[in-house]
Amino acid sequence: MNNRILKLILFVFLSGSGMVFAASGKVTITMPADGVMIGSSDKIELSYEVVPGPDGDHLHLNVDGKRVDVLRQLKGSAGIGPFASGKHQICLVVNTKGHVPTGVEGCVNVISK
């Protein structure tokens, strides 16, 4: 019985340490602010800073779940838009060299009127 408990503890520890390792990056979007209202003909400047984590190579800029650009700088800005009327989600997703998401991402929502 003690052997089973030891195996369970070891499994949980090893699984947990892998999750911490994968989530050690960070994406900060400084502009636009989350929930900001914009005009439907406006283009906006997305400003960001990224700590990619151990496997991160580049960023995918996604709008409403669709990739619109690939960014290689860890700090900078990108122009996007205009947007159709309605709510839109803008995300920066850290990816490996093989374009596999690492789990590190940051998102903001904008409302176009």
| Domain architecture of the chain: domains with CATH | 2-112 (2.60.40.10)
Q: Mean pLDDT of all residues in the chain?
A: 86
Of 103, 90, 48, nearest in space to 72 by CA: 48
Phi-psi region of 26 (alpha: psi -120 to 50; beta: other; left: phi over 0): beta
**Which residues of the chain are modeled with pLDDT < 70?**
1-23
Q: What is the pLDDT of residue 85?
A: 95
Q: What is the pLDDT of residue 10?
A: 44
Structure tokens at 28: 């900060």
Partnered with residue 88 across adjacent β-strands are 110
Q: Which pLDDT score is estimated for 17?
A: 37
| Predicted local confidence at residue 23, as pLDDT | 54
pLDDT of residue 5: 58
Could you give the C-alpha distances from 75 to 8, 28, 32, 87, in angstroms and in order?
A: 41, 9, 15, 26
**pLDDT at position 24, please?**
86
Cα torsion angle, 64, 33, 81, 83, sign: positive
In this prediction the pTM is: 0.78
